[in-house]
Amino acid sequence: MRYFIELQYDGVAYCGWQRQPDAMTVQGVIEEKLSMLLRVPTEIVGAGRTDTGVNASFYTAHFDSDAVTDAGQLCYKLNKVLPPDIAILRIYEVGASLHARFDARQREYTYFLTPRKSPFRRFSAWHFTADLDVERMNAAAAKLLEYEDFTSFAKLNSNNKTNICHISYAHWDVEEDGTLRFTIRADRFLRNMVRAIVGTLVDVGRGRYTVSEFEDIIRSKDLSRCSAGAPACGLFLSGVKYDE
């Protein structure tokens, strides 16, 4: 039987999602505890990679097992044995062919940038004090929807088969406390792509680039043209959608 897991995690203590032989990862920790509870080695497949320090407010994964007798109880027990920075939202049975990664139709990332120092957001937002022109940042973000090739924001040596992504939404909002929230949705993302986009849009907002120059960066397909990536702490994988 195949089961889906919906979960959240604070990524500050982990070297990303994907299992690594000599590093603590979210996948590795969950597999260890799940295998312990089911009393059989159990591998899980995630919706995609997240880098070191990146968080997830909504993440999906699947695993196959004939040892699950009650998915609700398994969810409860898994939460009891997992560390406090990983939370299982629910576990439920799905069709045997549904794949957490390959069947995902849309992924959403959210990035938080705060103008005020906060002891409570030091691991969940980028503390950035310079004045930013949010209207200009949104004008630049809108240009992302007009292109498909995002080589300019793709980390080198990532072994991507293609740098084509279809972005359907990209927008900055200002919350009541002044925190800036950037939301971006696409069918897929390249490694480090969102952080590179955020860093470059912030440079648009502080006047380093014009909107036209930002568009030139996209068209150039040259990673050296974009700004340094935004810190990992402010980035959250916030949504994964599948066909009904």
The type of residue at 211 is: V
- Identify the CA nearest to 112 among candidates 178, 211, 191: 178
Q: Tokens 């000599």, residue? A: 22
Cα 145 to its chain centre, rounded Å, is: 19
Which residues make beta-bridge pairs with 236?
55, 110
Contacts of 116 (CB under 8 A, 6+ apart): 127, 177, 178
Q: In the chain, how many H helices and how many E strands? A: 5, 9
Cα distance between residue 103 and residue 97, in whole Å:
9
Q: Could you tell me if 78 and 44 are in contact, meaning their C-beta atoms sit under 8 angstroms apart?
A: no
| Residue 213, SS3 per DSSP | helix
Q: Could you tell me if 9 and 86 are in contact, meaning their C-beta atoms sit under 8 angstroms apart?
A: yes
Q: Is 51 annotated in the active site?
A: yes
Question: One of 10, 51, 64, 216 is an active-site residue; which one?
Answer: 51
Active site residues: 51
